[in-house]
Amino acid sequence: MDVQGIDQLAERLASLVPPGLAQARQDLHANFKDILAQGLRRLDLVTREEFDVQSQVLARTRERLESLEKRVASLEAGATPSGQ
């Protein structure tokens, strides 16, 4: 959830406060926003962009690993004495 999403959620929560308590509504909005932001930080989340980058790195790593496994298997097959 981005900053704008947190702000929107905090606003929705604050809107539940009766209109006669305008000052309390503003204070609650600020408090809700801070509490939501702190809670999300504790979850140790990553952005979608960071996730996509890491997914691409993992895919390339898997491809490289498969290529190296085939190469090792080929080298092992060539090094095996023909009598065995």
CB 54 within 8 A of CB 31: no
For residue 84, the model assigns a pLDDT of 53
Domain spans of the chain? 1-45, 46-84
For residue 3, the model assigns a pLDDT of 66
Q: Report pLDDT digits (tens) over 26-84.
A: 777 788 888 888 887 788 778 889 999 999 999 999 999 999 999 999 999 988 766 55
58 is written with which tokens?
A: 């993992």
Please tell me the distance from the alpha carbon of residue 37 to that of residue 1, in angstroms, as a whole number. Answer: 9
Please tell me the distance from the alpha carbon of residue 32 to that of residue 16, in angstroms, as a whole number. Answer: 12
List, as one string, the DSSP characters of 26-45: HHHHHHHHHHHHHHHHHTT-
CB 28 within 8 A of CB 13: yes
